[in-house]
Structure 1
Amino acid sequence: MDVLYFAWVRERVGRAKDRVDTNPATVMDLIEDLRAREPRYQAAFADLSALRVAVDQELADFNASLKTAREVAFFPPMTGG
């Protein structure tokens, strides 16, 4: 599964994309796996209220299933103007 990072999430993680070869059941499970990697991931996922997620390019919540997911993207909330 590809994991994509946008805006300040990408800056904190230090890359735009990761490839995850594990099979987390939900988005939250994926976040826990990422947090366990190293401190920069812990910093990126410290405040989940400041994050949005899309699974296969559809907005989702942190309890969304990743059973058939091919891509997960993390980004800050969008603002209009």
Structure 2
Amino acid sequence: MSVKVLYFASLKDKVLKGEDSLELPEDVTTVEDLINYLSENDEALKAAFEEMPRLRFAVNQEMAKESTKIKDGDEVAFFPPVTGG
């Protein structure tokens, strides 16, 4: 399965990239699986995910949960919570 992963805001700054195009193993089927896969295969992402436990997610530009299913061709975005004032 192939997905596009986008990183935004301070997460993008921490991992020094804005996006990845990835071929994922068959057992990666949810956002949570993707987080675990990325953490196991990229030390910068592992550290960033540990520092930002309240990340938000979107799949194909719709807000998602860790349990949201992902499929071939999806776009998954990760971004920290944003506050305004």
TM-score (norm 1): 0.88
Offset of residue 49 of structure 1 = 3.4
Structure 1 stretches (4+) deviating beyond 4 angstroms?
Answer: none
Identity %: 42
Q: Distance in 2 between matches of 1:12 and 1:48?
A: 10
Q: How large is the Cα RMSD of the aligned pairs?
A: 1.6
- Whether 2:64 is the aligned partner of 1:60: answer yes
- Corresponding letter in the other structure for 2:61: Q
Partner of 1:15: 17
Using the TM superposition, give the Cα deviation of residue 61 of structure 1 relative to its aligned residue in structure 2, in angstroms.
Answer: 0.7
> Which blocks of at least 5 consecutive residues in structure 1 are unaligned?
none
Provide the TM-score with structure 2 as the length reference: 0.84
1:2-37 per-residue CA deviation (whole Å, 9 max, x = no partner) reads 000001111111100001111521000000110011
The alignment covers a number of residue pairs equal to: 81
Give 5+ residue unaligned stretches, structure 2.
none
Counterpart check, 1:30 vs 2:34: yes
